[in-house]
Structures are given as structure tokens and as C-alpha cells.
Amino acid sequence: MQIKTIMLQDPPVLGLHDKLYDAFKRINTRGIGRVIIVDKSLEGIVSTRDLISCIVDACEKTCNQAQLYELLNKEISKVMSPKPAYVYEDDDVVDALTIMVARNLGSLPVIDVEKKVKGIVTEREMMLIFQDLDHVYPVSKFMTKRVTTIYEDMPVVEGAKLMVKRGFRRLPVVDTEGKLVGVITAADILKNFLKHLSKNSLDTFYYEKIKDIKTPNVHTIDPNKSINEAAAKMLLERIGSLIVVDNDNVPTAIVTERDLIIALHYQLHLAR
């Protein structure tokens, strides 16, 4: 199967000299969470987590107008990950999957023979492959058993810092008893930042609590279900993770898109 059969066409694209503000506005176009940077050909890529890192670095405790102006007017070339890995549109899906797993990448820009950007493939598109595979492995084989959670009464900015520090894109949210009450994602934090930016109320952003912006309806999964079922549920609900809880609704494990493409890579290579 060729990459062009599953890639997302016309992804968000910006130029080298565009401003960071433009990336903030376009980063979640079509739910991709990435912007590709070009200057005739592929130059770099910016992710949601990159932008949250910029917020944390520039405005750790608050953000006055001078700090905000400097942050938003920074050239995107100063923030992007340069010379990203890429694949050609005619490359095999399994080869692209191997690159993503080996290099711990959540996406790959797709180019043509003239090095022009044609699309992007993310973990979510890769999960489509599960629909053609046998149900062989349970979620328990690939889920992450050490779950990092955050209390719902913590400030949103602390959630942002934890994501940047640990390299996470999402955190299960718990109450004082450790029971699951929601989930917060990097996209949630970024949308909240943009909301306050448009209202000129960034001071509020720094005092808001996780519980104010978390997604309360959390999708869970039985660890005995197959990884194929987990992938299907994530695709249907357009989410990036499923939580495993015990009888007291305490999170005991998490399975993410990253876990599932590792599982996919494992299953495909065993089948070869």
C-alpha cells in the first residue's frame, strides 16, 4: 500500500518567515496538530507541543504585553524542527511506519519527486491499517502501565509544563481520591490560550484550573480487548488515547496512538 492512499492532502503550510502567531492560528486545522514549513521545498515542521513549549518558556508565570508581542512575532523558523524526516507519496506504508516507530515521530510530511509537499501522514492515518488485520494481540500487551495523571485543581499552566517536561500530548485528570474525572490534551491547552489571547485576558489563562478546560467524557477500554478494537474506537471517537481503570475508577494504564502504531509495526513485521 502506498502512502498517498492514506495521507491527508493539503495540510497546513506556512513559510519560513511567517510569524509564530500564524502557527498558533493554523496548528489545529483539520485536527492535525502540526504545521509544515516550506520555502519552495520542505524546511521544517511545528507541532502543538512545540507551541506549548514556547508559551511555557516565554511566559512561565504570566505574560505582559511586551512578552506576548515578542512571542507572537517571532519568526517560525526560530521555533520549527528543521529538516524533518519525510516520505515520498509512492513509498510503502510499512516503510513509513518503520521510520515513525524507529525515530519516535508522530507524523511524516509527504513529498513528490520534485520535493513539493503533497500531504502528511500521522499516527491516526496509520491506525486505519488495523481494519485489514486479524485480531491477534490484546491491549494489555502494549498499554503503558505507569500512568502520569494530574489533579483537576492544578493550574492549566502546570499541565502545560508537565507535558513539555515529559513529552506527553495528553494527561488523565483525577480528583483528590485519584479517581478519573477527565482528560486534558495539548490541543485543549492551546485552544484555551488562543481564547484568552483573542479576549486580551491572558492573566486568566494562568489562573484557570485543569477542571475548567478538561474533557469530562473519558473513553475507557478493557485491557483484554484487541488492539484492533482500540484503534477502531479511537478512530471513531477521533481521540488519541483510551484509559484503563480499576473497579474504583482509578486509572491503571493508558493506551495511546503511539502505543498502537508500535503494536501495528510489531504485528506487520511478524507477518512478513
Per-residue pLDDT at 176: 95
Per-residue pLDDT at 102: 95
Q: What cell numbers appear for 254 in the block?
A: 493508558
262 located within any domain:
yes
134 located within any domain:
no
Task: Return left, alpha or beta for 42; rule: phi > 0 is left, psi -120 to 50 is alpha, else beta.
Answer: beta
- On whether both 163 and 266 belong to a single domain, the answer is yes
Residue-wise pLDDT tens for the chain (272 aa)? 899 999 999 999 999 999 999 998 888 777 788 999 999 889 999 999 999 998 888 877 677 777 778 888 999 999 999 999 999 999 999 999 999 999 999 999 999 998 899 999 999 999 999 988 888 899 999 999 989 999 999 999 899 999 999 989 999 999 999 999 999 999 999 988 888 887 777 777 777 899 999 999 999 999 999 999 999 999 999 999 999 999 999 999 999 999 999 999 999 887 55
Per-residue pLDDT at 250: 96
| Cβ(8)–Cβ(121) below 8 Å | yes
Sign of the CA dihedral running 198, 204, 210, 213: negative
Write down the pTM of the prediction: 0.89
- On whether both 121 and 154 belong to a single domain, the answer is no
Classify residue 167 by its DSSP letter. T
- On whether both 88 and 29 belong to a single domain, the answer is yes
Residue 43's contacts (CB-CB under 8 Å, 6 or more residues apart) are: 16, 37, 77, 80, 82, 83
206 located within any domain:
yes
Number of domains composing the chain: 2
Per-residue pLDDT at 272: 55
- On whether both 216 and 250 belong to a single domain, the answer is yes
**Where does a domain end: 106, 128, 150?**
128
133 located within any domain:
no
Residue 4 to residue 144: CA distance in whole angstroms: 31
Sign of the CA dihedral running 5, 236, 259, 56: positive
Task: Please give the residue range of the domain that contains residue 15.
Answer: 3-128
110 located within any domain:
yes
Amino acid at 93: V
Q: How far is CA 216 from CA 13, 61, 180, 185, 213, in A?
A: 32, 26, 9, 12, 9
| Cβ(34)–Cβ(86) below 8 Å | no
Element (H, E) at 59: none
- On whether both 143 and 264 belong to a single domain, the answer is yes
**Where does a domain end: 75, 94, 128?**
128
Amino acid at 43: E
192 located within any domain:
yes
Per-residue pLDDT at 271: 56
- On whether both 102 and 68 belong to a single domain, the answer is yes
- On whether both 190 and 92 belong to a single domain, the answer is no
CATH number at residue 63: 3.10.580.10
Residue 85 to residue 241: CA distance in whole angstroms: 25
Residue 88 to residue 112: CA distance in whole angstroms: 6
**Where does a domain end: 102, 128, 154?**
128
